[in-house]
Structure 1
């Protein structure tokens, strides 16, 4: 690696107010850093774009520290080792790491995990076999706990988390109802084997939902909020379980929505129906569930019962625009930025 090689980085230039815009990001080049003892120099191959990144742009208390203004946007990555100053890794190794939105970076060797490219396409390490897949697995099985014959409804069902939730529900013997935006995504859910698939953009969405859950909803995996939640709440059964994974419909809000305060009605439903509503972050289940997830998900992919779709954008400079689309549902499948050549493809 020569000193003239440059690292292209996407920095958080300012904190957004409402929807992020191009002005909130800066794209710059800088010299590629050099590794010290115990570190590795990495070249990014795939960058994962995920809804949680919107929250990290805010200077607000949350489960993780915000990205500092002027810092590289954070994100999960699959990368190739270019130079190693640690005996556990050698140039050419493919690793899972958190380089963020940049083409190159240096990390301690103990902060990366070596991948086996013969096991599955390396992009899946930030998708169905990575954080999104694990989020679906842990949230559904630990909080949702679907039983054979129960009805599981999942929002944003064509995304990487939602599509896995529905398929795992069916593997466990439950009935899966997916909610997505647009006829193309609805058709995709049917291809995946969902028992029912609904378009939340349809003017008849509330009635459509009522028609396909005649016996109510036992598990609702929440990724969206908004009008989807409004339609789901009256359909929840006694003892329903609601894993709250995301609320993408509300991430760009700067104030409370207009209208009456319906908190009392929500709490009354939770009380009278004994509903369990629990928010979660996937990393709280890593110690107890991750090994089982890796075993089960790999087997399900191998036998065809767990399928996945990827939406790949080329070039780190296109990450901001792709991210804007993610927040409005434009992506179709797991959204990835292909930052550099994939030597395993």
Structure 2
């Protein structure tokens, strides 16, 4: 029998999560019957959206998330022992995937693309869900045109750093904000025309300097006060892609379904500037997922997309790696290596 270590939600966080919100337990997995597979995690993802998902899952549930996993036991010819997959069974070292589950549509189980000499961890990074989020969320919603001005916040993160580079490939002027001087330096290396540390810069003054002609595309990972300060600097007919709102994730008043009058997007400005503001989930483009992965991998291999990973070693680091996202500890994608 295989024994898995599993991180579960012990109690709901109040504000910023702490290690005391999580507990690690052991679970004995069911036997591997006909059509089943058992996997062992090699890399696990931590992402800001998990803070929001915590509000939706019951206590004592397995923490949500994706992982790159290797098949260690199989009675399924589609998944031989040793094959690699990406699945979303959460913060666990070992996983039992039943025949019934594997036959379910939209089970979010997929083969890891052939990475060649690239790190396998990219399957939960630039050549995975974060990459797809940047690729479709920017290109499909913002529809950038050469010569336009693009603003990206959270620009040193897993998604924002990719958007910066795609925008430059499309011939745009890019203004980027990140949370430390080290991150700003890296974003400049990625090609941003202007990069600012939002913690030490007046956002409005920086945008007046960098974009006197105003902003045509705004890719928003932060929300809240940052977006409120950006709003006056958006051009008429600006396209706003709302990917995330990490500045609000630890605010418990932002619960799902709660009535709130604190949106940074003023109705008057939306109307008079004729802005198009659209939120999205990357799974909207499930039918084009492979297309996106192939293009992203091609750009990585060509050197057109650069990446960084912040790697934490050991399954015991899952909570601290996750919590560190809200302290800005990561540059690029944060992953936990087992």
Q: Does 1:75 align with 2:65?
A: yes
CA deviation vs aligned residue, 1:250-298 (integer Å, no higher than 9, x gap): 0111237xxxx676971111100110001100101221x3233123212
Q: State which of 25, 31, 34 in structure 1 corresponds to 2:31.
A: 34
Matches within 5 A, 1:63-142: 66-108=56-98, 109-110=102-103, 111=107, 112-115=109-112, 116-118=114-116, 120-142=118-140
What is the CA RMSD across the aligned residues, in angstroms? 1.9
Residue aligning to 2:258: none
Q: Would you say the 8 A contact 1:199–1:205 is kept in 2?
A: no
Closer, same or farther in 2 for the Cα pair 1:306/1:328, shift >3 Å? same
Paired with 1:154 and 1:238, the residues of 2 have a C-alpha distance of 18
Paired with 2:234 and 2:119, the residues of 1 have a C-alpha distance of 38
Q: Would you say the 8 A contact 1:33–1:105 is kept in 2?
A: no
Paired with 1:312 and 1:6, the residues of 2 have a C-alpha distance of 25
TM-score, normalised to structure 1, is: 0.89
Segments of structure 1 that go 5 or more residues without pairing to the other structure are: 59-65, 340-345
Q: Would you say the 8 A contact 1:198–1:209 is kept in 2?
A: no
CA deviation vs aligned residue, 1:124-165 (integer Å, no higher than 9, x gap): 110001000000011111110000000111110000100011
Q: Would you say the 8 A contact 2:38–2:95 is kept in 1?
A: yes
Segments of structure 2 that go 5 or more residues without pairing to the other structure are: 255-260
Q: Would you say the 8 A contact 1:176–1:196 is kept in 2?
A: yes
Paired with 2:263 and 2:83, the residues of 1 have a C-alpha distance of 52
Q: Would you say the 8 A contact 1:44–1:99 is kept in 2?
A: no
Paired with 1:127 and 1:265, the residues of 2 have a C-alpha distance of 30
Residue aligning to 2:271: 271
Q: Does 1:229 align with 2:219?
A: no
Residue aligning to 2:322: 323
Q: Would you say the 8 A contact 2:224–2:264 is kept in 1?
A: no
Paired with 1:254 and 1:96, the residues of 2 have a C-alpha distance of 31
Greater shift, 155-164 or 34-43, is seen at 34-43
Closer, same or farther in 2 for the Cα pair 1:48/1:264, shift >3 Å? closer
CA-CA distance at 1:299 after TM superposition:
1.6
CA deviation vs aligned residue, 1:303-344 (integer Å, no higher than 9, x gap): 1111111011011111111111112322111000112xxxxx
Residue aligning to 1:247: 245
Residue aligning to 1:195: 193
Describe the SS at the equivalent of 2:141: helix
Matches within 5 A, 1:138-217: 138-217=136-215
User: Would you identify which runs of 4 or more consecutive aligned residues in structure 1 move more than 4 Å?
Assistant: 261-265
Describe the SS at the equivalent of 1:147: coil
Residues matched between the structures, number: 325
Paired with 1:203 and 1:88, the residues of 2 have a C-alpha distance of 53
Q: Does 1:295 align with 2:294?
A: yes
Describe the SS at the equivalent of 1:74: coil
Q: Does 1:13 align with 2:10?
A: yes
Greater shift, 24-33 or 277-286, is seen at 24-33
Q: Does 1:46 align with 2:36?
A: no
Paired with 2:264 and 2:285, the residues of 1 have a C-alpha distance of 31
